[in-house]
C-alpha cells in the first residue's frame, strides 16, 4: 500500500486517540504532522509529537487530514478544511459542522463504505452516539428494514472533552472524601458546588437528560444528530427515529438501550444471526454476558447483548449496545475511513 | 381521625424511611412498634426506637403493619403477614411476594385508590420502578388510553439496599483516591476488584443492564415486574409494556426515560395539561427545567420534564420521570396506602 502524509488537527481527547490508533494499526504513513492552536511538543505513550501552530502552517503535501473536532463547538474544520483541500488533501472531519451538508458523505465504513467514493475533498465522521447505533442496526436494516428506532443513551463524560472527564473525577473525589463514614451519603446534596462549569449540573452520582442545546420540539442538538445522521447514513428518512440522550457518571464508553421494530417479519434467531455476522460487532447471546462500559473502554468493536423480543409487539426488539465513544465513536471510525480511502 | 397502633417490619433503608415518613406526616398512631430479626435499640434522627425480635413478638393490638420488604429476596411477609392478619391487622407489604396474587390489591393511591377496599387483610405496594411510572402515566391512561409503554430506567443503588449504597461509595472512593492526578482515569479498569459482591459487576463509573435475575424471554425479574404490575395497577393487560432496567452510579432516586403512545389522538398541550393536573406529579414545562436524581432525593412527588412528541409517530411521546425510590417508590407509597385505609 502506498505511504501517505497524514495531518491530525487537534490534540484533545479525540486527537490523542487518533494518534494512538494510527500507530496501533500501523497506518501506512510516511509522515504524521500534528496541528493545533499553539506550537508545542506533546508526548503520547512515550512517543514525542511536534505540534505545529495551525495558523502559521503550510498544508502542502498532506494526503489525508483528520480533524479531531469536538461535538458542540464550531470546529477548526470550518476555518481550515478548505485550505487543506486546496492543497490536495482529503479531509475527514470528526466535528459536526459538515455532516448534514449535501455532497459530503457521512460515513461509517461497516454500513455505507461505498459512498466514500462520492466525496469532493471532505468526508464527515458521524456523532459517537449515532455511529455505534448504526453499526449495531446496519445489518438488520439491510435484511429486514427498520420501521422505528427508539434510543435511550447512557453517555460517558469523555464525549464532552477532557474538562468533562476532570469534572466527574473532581466532583466524585470531593464527595467521597467529604465524609469518612462508608455509605454515608445523606449530605451529598449539600457538599459540592452543583456544577464545575462543564456540565449544567453536577454529574457525579447523577443523570443529566441533556446533551447539547435545546432545539426544535424540545429535542436536544444531540438527539437531532442521532435522528438526522441515522437517516443520512441509511439513506432512508422514512425510518421513525427518536431519542433521549442522557449523560451519566461514566468516564468512557457510551451504552445504549435501543428499541427497534423491523418492517419484514423476523424471528429472534434471525435477528441474532444477523448480529453475530455483522462486521465490527461482537454479539453476546447469553443474557448474562451483556457488555459494560468499563469493559468496553479501549476496545474497537461495537458490543451488543441483551437481545430480546417485545412480548407484545411482534416486530419489536431490544438490544443493549456499548462502544468506546472515543474510538469507534470518533477516532477509530475516522481512521477506518482513511484506510478505506487508501484501499478502494 | 382515630389513633391506631402501627407495626413496622424491617429496619433496612426502606424501614428507616417508613419510620421517618410516619413521623414527618404526623401519622395518627398512638403507638409504633418496630420488628426485625433481632432485638435492639436504634436511633433515627435523634429518636430512639426499640426493635422487637419478630420471632418472639406478639402481634395483638396492631391495626396496620407495614412490611419494609426489599426487592429480590423473599420477604418477612411470607413468614409473618398471615400472623399479623390473624391478630386483626391490615398488612401493607412493600416486598414482591404477594403483588401478583389474585385478591391482593396492588395500590398506588394516585392511580387506583378505590381498589384498597377490596383487600382481604393484605395490600401490596408495587415495585419502585413501576410506582413512579404509573403515577406519571395514570392521568394519560385515564384520558387518552395507553397503547404502548417503552421504558428505559436509570436506577439508583439504594434500591438494592444499604450494602449496595456502600458498594457505590466504597468503590468510588477507592478509585478516585488511587491516583492523585485529577482526570487521570486511564487505569480505572486495573484498580479495583470488579465487584464488591453486592452487584454482579463494579457499579462505580459503570452502567449495569441487569436488575434481578434473568427470566422468560431474557427479560430480568425487574423488567417483568414493571410489565405485570403496570397491567395489574391499570387493570388493563392490553397495554404493550416493555422495559430495559439499568443500574447506574446514583445513590438515591430513579430516573426513567419513558416513551409512550396513546390510543386516542392527543396534542402535546393536552398531554402537558394532564400532567400539570395529575395528583402527586410536579411537571416542568420548560425544557431546561428537567428533574435530576440529586435534586429529587428526599422529595415526595414524581417529577416530570422533557415532554416531547415523537417527530414521526403521531401519538408517540417521551417524558423524563424522576422520583425518590425509597420514598414514593417504597416507604411513602406504603404510608399513603395506610392513610387511605384510615380515611376511606
Question: Any alpha helices (H) in A206-344, and if so which ranges?
Answer: 221-234, 268-277, 293-296, 332-343
For residue B72, pLDDT beyond 60 = no
Average pLDDT over chain A, rounded to whole?
92
Number of domains in chain A: 2
> Is residue B201 domain-resident?
no
What number is the average pLDDT over the span B261-288?
97
pLDDT for res A196: 61
For residue B3, pLDDT beyond 90 = yes
Catalytic annotation, pick one of B119, B128, B245, B321? B128
For residue B173, pLDDT beyond 90 = no
Asked whether the ipTM of the predicted complex exceeds the cut of 0.85, the reply is yes
Assess whether B142 and B78 both reside in one domain: no
Task: For residue range A251-292, list pLDDT tens digits in order.
Answer: 999 999 999 999 999 999 999 999 999 999 999 999 999 999
The CATH number covering residue A121 comes to 3.40.50.720
Assess whether B272 and B335 both reside in one domain: no
- Give residue B339's pLDDT band: very low, low, confident or very high (50, 70, 90): very high
Task: For residue range A325-340, list pLDDT tens digits in order.
Answer: 999 999 999 999 999 9
Residue B17 to residue B331: CA distance in whole angstroms? 6
Query: In terms of pLDDT, which residue wins out, A86 or A167?
Result: A86
Q: Which residues contact A176 (CB under 8 A, 6 or more apart)?
A: B169, B172, B173, B176, B177
pLDDT for res B185: 46
Residue A271 to residue A313: CA distance in whole angstroms? 15
| Residue A325 CB burial class (10 angstroms; 0-12, 13-18, ≥19) | buried
Please answer yes or no on whether B154 and A207 come within 8 Å at the CB atom.
yes
Nearest to B207 among A148, A201, A250 (CB): A250
Query: Which chain A residues touch B307 with a CB distance below 8 Å?
Result: 218
Task: Give DSSP secondary structure letters for B247-271.
Answer: E-S-SS-EEEEEEEEESS---HHHH
pLDDT for res A184: 44
Please answer yes or no on whether B217 and A173 come within 8 Å at the CB atom.
no
Report the SS3 class of residue B210.
Answer: coil
Closest of A181, A159, A199 to residue A293, by C-alpha = A159
pLDDT for res A181: 43
Closest of B301, B121, B138 to residue B235, by C-alpha = B138
- pLDDT above 70: percentage of residues in chain B: 93
Residue B243 to residue B317: CA distance in whole angstroms? 16
- Give residue B74's pLDDT band: very low, low, confident or very high (50, 70, 90): low
Assess whether B69 and B17 both reside in one domain: yes
Nearest to B249 among A188, A205, A295 (CB): A205
pLDDT for res B292: 96
Interior CA angle at A234 toward A232 and A238, to 5°? 80
Task: For residue range B249-260, list pLDDT tens digits in order.
Answer: 999 999 999 999
The CATH number covering residue B320 comes to 3.30.360.10
Assess whether B38 and B101 both reside in one domain: yes
Assess whether A306 and A225 both reside in one domain: yes
Interior CA angle at B332 toward B85 and B30, to 5°? 55
Question: Any alpha helices (H) in B103-260, and if so which ranges?
Answer: 109-112, 128-144, 162-176, 188-191, 221-234
Task: For residue range A93-137, list pLDDT tens digits in order.
Answer: 999 999 999 999 999 999 999 999 999 999 999 999 999 999 999
Task: For residue range A143-190, list pLDDT tens digits in order.
Answer: 999 999 999 999 999 999 888 888 898 889 888 887 644 344 445 545
pLDDT for res A71: 59
Assess whether B338 and B320 both reside in one domain: no
Assess whether B270 and B143 both reside in one domain: yes
User: What count of other Cβ atoms lies within 10 Å of the Cβ of residue B235?
Assistant: 10
Report the SS3 class of residue B289.
Answer: coil
Assess whether B144 and B9 both reside in one domain: no
Write out the residue range of the structural domain in which residue A80 sits: 4-125+330-343
- In this structure, of A32-36, A157-161, B210-214, B273-277, the range with the lowest mean pLDDT score is A157-161
For residue B99, pLDDT beyond 50 = yes
> A162-176 and B162-176 helices cross at what angle (nearest 10)?
120
> Is residue A190 domain-resident?
no
Q: What are phi and psi of A174, to 5 degrees?
A: -60, -40
Catalytic annotation, pick one of B119, B231, B245, B254? B254
Please answer yes or no on whether B214 and A240 come within 8 Å at the CB atom.
no
Residue A304 to residue A283: CA distance in whole angstroms? 5
> Is residue B52 domain-resident?
yes
> Is residue A195 domain-resident?
no
Residue B270 to residue B143: CA distance in whole angstroms? 10
Nearest to A209 among B150, B205, B320 (CB): B320
For residue B191, pLDDT beyond 90 = no
Assess whether B34 and B145 both reside in one domain: no
> Is residue B171 domain-resident?
no
Instruction: Count how many residues are written for chain B.
Output: 344
- B81 to chain A, closest Cα gap in Å: 31
Report the SS3 class of residue A106.
Answer: strand
Residue B316 to residue B119: CA distance in whole angstroms? 36
Assess whether A22 and A85 both reside in one domain: yes
Assess whether A294 and A145 both reside in one domain: yes
- Give residue B174's pLDDT band: very low, low, confident or very high (50, 70, 90): confident
> Is residue B179 domain-resident?
no
Report the SS3 class of residue A327.
Answer: helix
For residue A191, pLDDT beyond 70 = no
For residue B73, pLDDT beyond 80 = no
Catalytic (active site) residue A340: no
pLDDT for res B344: 81
Cα B184 off chain centre by:
36
Task: For residue range B196-211, list pLDDT tens digits in order.
Answer: 667 889 999 999 999 9
Residue B148 to residue A150: CA distance in whole angstroms? 13
Catalytic (active site) residue A254: yes
For residue B179, pLDDT beyond 90 = no
Residue A52 to residue A50: CA distance in whole angstroms? 6
pLDDT for res B182: 39
Please answer yes or no on whether A251 and B205 come within 8 Å at the CB atom.
yes
Closest of B322, B315, B317, B316 to residue B307, by C-alpha = B317
Q: Which residues contact B291 (CB under 8 A, 6 or more apart)?
A: B255, B282, B284, B303, B304, B305, B320, B321, B322
Answer left, alpha or beta for residue B108, where phi above 0 means left and psi between -120 and 50 means alpha: beta
- B108 to chain A, closest Cα gap in Å: 24
pLDDT for res B183: 42
Amino acid at each position: 500500500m502506498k505511504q501517505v502524509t497524514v495531518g491530525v488537527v487537534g490534540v484533545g481527547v479525540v486527537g490523542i486517540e487518533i494518534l494512538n490508533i494510527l500507530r496501533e494499526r500501523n497506518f501506512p504513513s510516511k509522515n504524521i504532522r500534528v496541528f493545533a492552536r499553539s506550537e508545542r511538543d506533546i508526548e503520547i505513550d512515550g512517543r514525542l509529537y511536534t505540534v505545529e501552530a495551525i495558523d502559521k502552517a503550510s498544508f502542502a503535501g498532506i494526503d489525508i487530514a483528520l480533524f479531531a473536532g469536538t461535538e458542540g463547538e464550531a470546529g477548526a474544520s470550518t476555518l481550515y478544511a478548505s485550505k487543506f483541500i486546496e492543497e490536495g488533501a482529503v479531509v475527514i472531519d470528526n466535528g459536526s459542522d459538515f455532516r448534514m451538508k449535501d455532497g459530503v458523505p457521512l460515513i461509517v465504513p461497516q454500513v455505507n463504505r461505498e459512498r466514500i467514493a462520492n466525496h469532493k475533498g471532505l468526508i464527515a465522521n458521524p456523532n459517537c452516539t449515532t455511529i455505534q447505533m448504526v453499526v449495531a442496526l446496519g445489518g438488520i436494516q439491510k435484511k429486514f428494514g427498520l420501521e422505528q428506532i427508539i434510543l435511550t443513551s447512557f453517555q460517558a463524560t469523555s464525549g464532552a472533552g477532557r474538562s468533562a472527564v476532570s469534572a466527574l473525577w473532581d466532583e466524585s473525589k470531593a464527595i467521597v472524601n467529604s465524609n469518612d463514614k462508608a455509605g454515608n451519603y445523606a449530605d451529598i446534596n449539600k457538599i459540592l458546588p452543583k456544577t464545575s462549569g462543564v456540565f449544567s449540573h453536577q454529574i457525579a452520582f447523577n443523570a443529566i437528560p441533556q446533551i447539547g442545546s435545546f432545539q426544535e420540539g424540545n429535542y436536544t442538538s444531540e438527539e437531532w444528530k442521532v435522528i438526522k445522521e441515522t437517516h443520512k447514513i441509511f439513506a432512508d428518512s422514512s425510518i421513525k427515529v427518536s431519542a433521549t440522550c442522557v449523560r451519566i457518571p461514566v468516564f468512557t464508553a457510551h451504552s445504549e438501550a435501543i428499541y427497534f421494530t423491523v418492517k419484514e417479519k423476523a424471528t429472534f434467531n434471525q435477528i441474532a444471526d444477523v448480529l453475530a455476522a455483522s462486521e465490527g460487532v461482537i454479539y453476546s447471546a447469553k443474557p448474562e454476558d451483556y457488555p459494560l462500559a468499563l469493559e468496553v473502554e479501549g476496545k474497537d468493536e461495537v458490543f451488543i447483548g441483551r437481545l430480546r423480543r417485545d412480548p407484545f409487539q411482534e416486530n419489536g426488539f431490544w438490544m443493549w449496545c456499548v462502544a468506546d465513544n472515543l474510538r469507534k465513536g470518533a477516532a477509530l471510525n475516522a481512521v477506518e475511513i482513511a484506510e478505506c480511502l487508501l484501499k478502494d
